[in-house]
Amino acid sequence: MKRLRSSRKRLEISDLGSFIDGLANNASAVVVESFINVSVSNLHLEDTVRITQICEEVGWPYSLFDEADQPCATVALHADFAPFRAVIVKPTLSPEILSVLTLTGMKQFLESQPSYVKWYVAGLAERIVTRSTLLCPWYDEYDFDPMPATKNPRSLVREYTSKRTVPPNVGPWLLVNPDTHFTASGAFSTWLNASARAVCRSLASEIDPETGALKCNGTPKLSIPIPDATEDLSLSFSLENFKNLQVAATWIFENEREAESRHTLLATEVARSGHPGTNLLQCFGEQISSSLSSAKIAYQMMLSDVSKDTLKALGDLRKAVTEETAKMTDVTRQLIGGVTAAMAVGFGLIATRISTNTNAWLIVAVMLLVVVYVSVIIYSGTQFISIQRQLRADWQSKLYRFLPGTEYEKMVSVPTGRSEHTFFISAWFSGAAIMALTAIVLWLSVKDDILPRQDIPTNAGASTSVTISSPSFSSVSSLAKISNSATSVISRPVKAVEKGSIPSSQSHDPGM
């Protein structure tokens, strides 16, 4: 019952709008529609009575004024007081809904583009669902969520005048489904005329500042005159032509990042397919489908070139990651080899200290040299890692910006992180082992100075003598042999460093 009542009221509102539009088309009245009311002036007596009857049927309030602009009642209407002016108050349905009664008002609202998402339009048979707005019959219940705004066409089309004719957002003029079938009506024809003009301006390369003609850059450059504002494009554009225009515009503005390149390709194809003297209908109605097909082919060829460059960049990235992980593995291997040699020297010093009377300070000095050697290897590896991390951070935004963060992490951060983790674990264990060995060597070297010396027990009455002997020649010879062996063991990794087996910071690959 409620739906039947709404349908009946919708028909009554359409009758009121159609009657007022008929008076405006016949120049029998002057119509001005605002957001809250509709003013119909220069009315004859019969027309005024008819408007009051329909308003009473619909239940809308109205006011009447005579020729002297004085209020008058319906019962006091007389031909002598003509022409009359009727002010019809539209109901306030919702702050988010724009109610439109006449085609004259619809044209005004389409030009000004008020910020309403949903429009109630009298006389509209089907919903016009665009990316940004919904135009539907009165009291039509339909949930609508606008899509995100498209790329601003004004950033793609050059205009040299202060009054911009290109719309800032093409969303209100693009159908969500271009294949929608529409019943011919005055309301739809009014929207089609406004949409075709806005979309055609958005597809051009520039607007002529003097004539307003649409120019498409190509070989050669094409200038397309745009019809006068009084000409109705719905009479020349068929539904099939309008559908093809909608499909072409949707292909351009559906992806904001690629809109500029697609816009350039389509404008070039429009200029190539046209010739001097081609009108708007031929370029953007009859030939737009073939121009779109050519633009798509050119776009795919452009993507193929980009794909080749991308594959080359990914190949270079893979090579750089492989080289860095190999270098990091070499650094770790050199650390382990150096620590192994250092521990061999440390155990040799311990054996020398226990079995001979070698000078303690000489042993401590050799052990400290071993500690410095291992510390230099660890420091060199950490500096290499730090420099490579900085280079990766600097070059990622310049060379590999096209890679998403997750993909870059999978291809670069994870493998390099594993090799760095292996080095750090080896460095920690190596440092701990060398520190422990150093502590043992120091303890054996200084324990005689810390622990109290014990006297050797003797028989009572026996004479005790202490013999101080100088280091024997055999002790000095053994110390010399151990020192020579330690020097030769330490010198091997040092020579490897001098030959360049450990990568220096100057040879780092800047491509990472």
From residue 468, alpha-carbon distances to 269, 445, 471, 472 in Å are 108, 20, 10, 12
From residue 65, alpha-carbon distances to 39, 83, 88, 211, 361 in Å are 11, 9, 12, 43, 120
CB neighbours (10 Å) of residue 336? Answer: 16
- pLDDT for position 166: 92
3-state SS class at 71: strand
- pLDDT for position 482: 45
Q: To the nearest 10°, the Cα dihedral for 200, 206, 212, 214?
A: -40
- pLDDT for position 449: 54
Could you say which DSSP state residue 411 is in?
A: I
H-helix or E-strand spanning residue 62: strand 62-65
- pLDDT for position 69: 86
Q: Model-level pTM?
A: 0.62
Taking only the tens of pLDDT, the chain with its 512 residues reads 556 566 788 888 999 999 999 999 998 899 999 999 999 999 999 999 999 999 998 889 999 998 888 888 877 788 888 889 999 999 888 888 999 999 999 999 999 888 899 999 998 888 999 999 999 998 888 888 889 888 999 999 999 888 889 999 999 999 999 998 888 889 999 999 999 999 999 999 999 988 889 999 887 889 999 888 888 898 889 999 999 999 999 999 998 889 999 999 999 999 988 887 888 888 898 899 999 998 998 888 777 666 666 677 777 777 888 888 888 888 888 888 888 888 888 888 888 878 877 777 888 888 888 888 888 888 888 888 888 888 888 777 767 766 777 777 788 888 888 888 888 898 898 888 888 888 888 888 777 655 444 444 444 444 333 333 333 333 334 434 444 444 454 444 434 333 443 333 333 343 33
- pLDDT for position 478: 43
- pLDDT for position 261: 92
H-helix or E-strand spanning residue 334: helix 288-355
- pLDDT for position 472: 36
- pLDDT for position 473: 36
Radius of gyration of the chain (CA): 45
- pLDDT for position 354: 81
Provide DSSP, 157-181: SB--SSS--S-S--GGGSBS-TT--
Q: Comparing C-alpha atoms, which of 391, 413, 384, 412 is closest to residue 502?
A: 384
Domain coordinates in residue numbering, the chain: 1-122, 147-286, 310-450+472-507
Task: Name the pairing type of β-strands 134-136 and 128-129.
Answer: antiparallel
Q: Comparing C-alpha atoms, which of 282, 39, 288 is closest to residue 178?
A: 288
- pLDDT for position 152: 93
| Structural contact between residues 442 and 366, judged by C-beta atoms closer than 8 angstroms | no
Is the Cα dihedral 339, 342, 344, 350 positive or negative?
negative
